[in-house]
């Protein structure tokens, strides 16, 4: 089996097909999905795509598998999960419809997906609906590969961690597609908790962090991750541990140490600690990448901080000496 790090030298060998479905992944991420499918996977255990959307990422992974001599198309399966419909709270885009927009009378793009993925349907298993309903809580079969492009909320991440991360074994490969998203800090602190048991493939590929599991992950670690049982301070330390391991992405466009620092602010923000969140975020205003791409994040954190009741220095002092 190919070491994940070796795939980085093969990016230029991958050409994207002209009929590739609309996708929210970058060219590099799509090339990497192809390379993992083509050179790294076997299909002996579960291959799972969480957040298939209009099918761009699924297509490239499936194309790699299709061209992989070690993958048996008769027995190997690629499991694709998504709502496959647009609507409030789905995080799906109307661009996932082949026409580029939703028809009048239908909010499902499942048929569009099927049509576009038709060359690979013989080994594609589609799970349409909310992940909490479409994934099996009793399935403990090992997962060989996880592409995670679905964990936009803590609620969904809980499902991902309970039902999929718990099935990782030494040799399993994980791609976290939203790793450059500071509003999704569960991706970052959970990775921090897994660090002793994984090997990060190399610099993130644009927004995607890729890693391989190298040691069995103890059950109590997986339980704490899936139950979100870390304190705020522990989460910040776990993110710091990840910062020590990642820097700029493969294309040199994304400064991950800063992105992860902003993710720490969101850990505090979600915990209602808005003063602390802003004290972490404010110094990052001078970061060129973050100020250019995450102005809305700063505005959100500043607004929450400013809405907090202000405590005067005198009453803070009184409280400290036990008079208030
Ligand atoms: C960023 S998009 C995926 C993009 C896709 N990988 C691509 O190549 O363009 C995220 C997807 O997650 C799906 N999603 C989010 N929460 C979900 C849930 N609870 N159950 C099922 N699908 C969900 C949305 O329907 C959406 O299509």
Is the CB of residue 92 below 6 angstroms from any atom belonging to ligand 1?
yes
CA–CA–CA angle 40, 44, 47 (5° rounding): 65
Residue in the block written with tokens 């957040």: 51
pLDDT at 104: 86
The residue to mutate among 24, 33, 53, having the most atoms of ligand 1 within 8 angstroms of its beta carbon, is: 53
Is the CB of residue 149 below 6 angstroms from any atom belonging to ligand 1?
yes
For atom 5 of ligand 1, which residue has the closest CA? 53
Provide Rg for the chain, Cα atoms: 21
pLDDT at 314: 74
How far, in Å, CA of 301 to CA of 277, rounded? 7
- CA torsion 196-202-205-209 (nearest 10°) is 0
Spell out the per-residue pLDDT of the chain, length 324, in tens. Answer: 558 999 999 999 999 999 899 999 999 999 999 999 999 999 999 999 999 999 999 999 999 999 999 999 999 999 999 999 999 989 999 999 999 999 888 899 999 999 999 999 999 999 999 999 999 999 999 999 999 999 999 999 999 999 999 999 999 999 999 999 999 999 999 999 999 999 999 999 999 999 999 999 999 999 999 999 999 999 999 999 999 999 999 999 999 999 999 999 999 999 999 999 999 999 999 999 999 999 999 999 999 999 988 777 777 777 767 765
pLDDT at 324: 55
Token code pair at residue 13: 């060998």
**Hey, what domains does the chain have and what are their CATH numbers?**
4-233 (3.40.50.150)
pLDDT at 1: 52
Q: Which helix (H) or strand (E) covers residue 213, if one does?
A: strand 209-213
Nearest ligand 1 atom to alpha carbon 84: 25
pLDDT at 2: 55
How far, in Å, CA of 237 to CA of 231, rounded? 10
Is the CB of residue 186 below 6 angstroms from any atom belonging to ligand 1?
no
Query: Which residue, 82, 1, 9, is CA-closest to 38?
Result: 1
Is the CB of residue 21 below 6 angstroms from any atom belonging to ligand 1?
no
Residues 123-164: tens digit of each pLDDT: 999 999 999 999 999 999 999 999 999 999 999 999 999 999
Measured in Å, residue 194 CA sits from the centre of ligand 1 at 24
Is the CB of residue 83 below 6 angstroms from any atom belonging to ligand 1?
yes
């Amino acid at each position: 089996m190919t070491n994940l790090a070796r795939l980085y030298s093969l990016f230029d060998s991958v050409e994207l097909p002209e009929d590739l479905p609309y996708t929210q992944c970058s060219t590099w991420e799509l090339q990497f999905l192809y390379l993992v499918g083509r050179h790294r996977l076997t299909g002996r255990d579960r291959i799972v795509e969480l957040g298939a959307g209009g099918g761009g990422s699924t297509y490239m992974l499936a194309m790699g598998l299709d061209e992989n001599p070690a993958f048996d198309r008769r027995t190997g399966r690629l499991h694709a999960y998504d709502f496959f419909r647009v609507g409030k709270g789905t995080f799906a885009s109307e661009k996932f419809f082949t026409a580029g927009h939703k028809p009048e009378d239908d909010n499902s793009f499942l048929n569009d997906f099927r049509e576009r993925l038709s060359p690979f349907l013989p080994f594609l298993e589609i799970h349409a609906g909310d992940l909490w309903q479409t994934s099996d809580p009793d399935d403990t079969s090992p997962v060989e590969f996880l592409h995670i492009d679905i964990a936009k909320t803590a609620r969904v991440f809980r499902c991902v961690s309970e039902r999929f991360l718990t099935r990782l074994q030494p040799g399993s490969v994980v791609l976290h597609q939203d790793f450059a998203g500071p509003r999704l800090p569960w991706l970052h602190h959970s990775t921090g908790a897994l660090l002793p048991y994984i090997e990060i493939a190399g610099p993130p590929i644009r927004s995607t962090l890729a890693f391989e599991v190298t040691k069995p992950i103890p059950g109590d670690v997986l339980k704490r991750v899936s139950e979100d049982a870390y304190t705020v301070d522990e989460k910040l330390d776990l993110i710091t541990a990840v910062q020590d391991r990642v820097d700029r992405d493969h294309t040199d466009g994304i400064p991950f140490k800063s992105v992860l620092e902003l993710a720490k602010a969101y850990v505090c923000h979600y915990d209602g600690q808005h003063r602390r969140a802003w004290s972490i975020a404010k110094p990052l205003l001078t970061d060129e990448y973050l100020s250019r791409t995450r102005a809305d994040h700063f505005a959100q954190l500043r607004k929450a901080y400013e809405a907090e009741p202000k405590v005067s220095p005198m009453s803070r002092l009184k409280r400290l000496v036990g008079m208030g």
